Amino acid sequence: MAEAIVSRLERPEKHRFDRVSFLSTGYDTRDVDALVAKLKGYFSEGRALSIEDVRTSVFRSKRGGYREGQVDLVLDSVVDVMLAVR
């Protein structure tokens, strides 16, 4: 699971998750990508990041943003991996 997460995180900014149509709202790509930078530091460099930081992340809504369900699913998987390596 960790390998799949890291693979997703390595994608280029604004292309890490599926996008909703311009007529729909999703998570702001900048907000999500900012959290992804922290997650990359955690997985690749061992930087400190708490499970609470991941669970309480909040993203603004934006037209054409990332698909919320997909981002939430990946973040749930991140928490599962973090709990497993404790």
Residue spans of alpha helices (H) in 1-86: 2-9, 29-45, 51-55, 68-84
pLDDT one-digit tens code per residue, 64-82: 999 999 999 999 999 999 9
Number of structural domains found in the chain: 1
| pLDDT tens figures, 20-46 | 999 999 999 999 999 999 999 999 999
**Strand pairing category for 25-27 and 61-63:** antiparallel
Q: How far apart are CA 38 and CA 19, in angstroms?
A: 21
Which has the closest alpha carbon to 75: 19, 16, 20? 16
pTM of the model: 0.92
Q: Which residues form the domain of 51?
A: 2-84
Calculate ∠ Cα 68-69-70, nearest 5°: 95
Structure tokens at 24: 């729909």
